[in-house]
Amino acid sequence: MKDVVYVHPPRYKDADFQNPAGLPRPVVGGLPFPWVTPMGAGGPLFREVERVKAELCRRLWGCQVCGNDLDVTAWVALERPEDWAGVITSAAMHQACLRLAVTYCPVLGDATRGYAFTEVYEDEVVAVEEKASNKMAPRTRWCLRPVSETVRPGRVRAFLTLGQLDEAAE
């Protein structure tokens, strides 16, 4: 994936902040700074996602944490452990980057949310147009496609809990 170079980069601590792709991530306020996270005028916006970068990750199969190309398979966090579940923050990650994310992100690392984690091929994550509610524009959600609809219909998909993810890394 091509990196994004800002013509007018945001500033952090009186210096330009380009936030280049790759590992290790820049450390901002003691936390690894994801590639898709915006730097605001007053500091990092960890709860937000830079939409252009997130879209690049989706379209070009890039990692939302480090910004580099993904491998043949990558990992996603899901709203729940089932087909058609929504992909959290709509993009995939390297396994090492997922580890970084669940360690430092209070949302992904919160076991009470019941998120599931699974390894996917690129064709297992698809865009689903959601019907517009009220005056809102239609929204695209990235969802987990059933294995039976992919080119590997016999593949066994494993949904891991946050705790199982920890065990898998040990």
Residues 95-114 that bind Zn ion (CB under 5 A): 97
Q: Does 94 bind Zn ion (CB under 5 A)?
A: yes
d(CA 120, CA 65): 16
Find how far residue 11's CA is from the centre of its chain. 24
* Closest of 74, 63, 50 to residue 123, by C-alpha: 74
Q: Does 63 bind Zn ion (CB under 5 A)?
A: yes
Q: Which stretch binds Zn ion (CB under 5 A): 46-54, 59-67, 128-136, 161-169?
A: 59-67
Nearer to Zn ion, 101 or 143 (CB): 101
Nearer to Zn ion, 22 or 146 (CB): 22
Binds Zn ion (CB under 5 A): choice among 54, 56, 66, 125: 66
Nearest distance from C-beta of residue 95 to Zn ion, angstroms: 9
Cβ within 8 Å of residue 70, ≥6 positions away: 61, 62, 63, 92, 93, 94, 122
Q: Copy the structure tokens of residue 20.
A: 């280049």
Nearest distance from C-beta of residue 70 to Zn ion, angstroms: 7
d(CA 57, CA 70): 9
Nearest distance from C-beta of residue 63 to Zn ion, angstroms: 3
Q: Which stretch binds Zn ion (CB under 5 A): 45-53, 64-72, 74-82, 159-167?
A: 64-72
Q: Does 58 bind Zn ion (CB under 5 A)?
A: no
Nearest distance from C-beta of residue 88 to Zn ion, angstroms: 15
Ordered alpha helix ranges (H), 19-161? 51-60, 95-104
The residue assigned the tokens 């065990």 is 167
Measured N-to-C along each axis, helices 162-169 and 95-104 cross at an angle, to the nearest 10 degrees, of: 120
Total of residues contacting Zn ion (CB under 5 A): 5
Q: Does 65 bind Zn ion (CB under 5 A)?
A: yes
> What residues make contact with Zn ion under the rule CB under 5 A?
63, 65-66, 94, 97
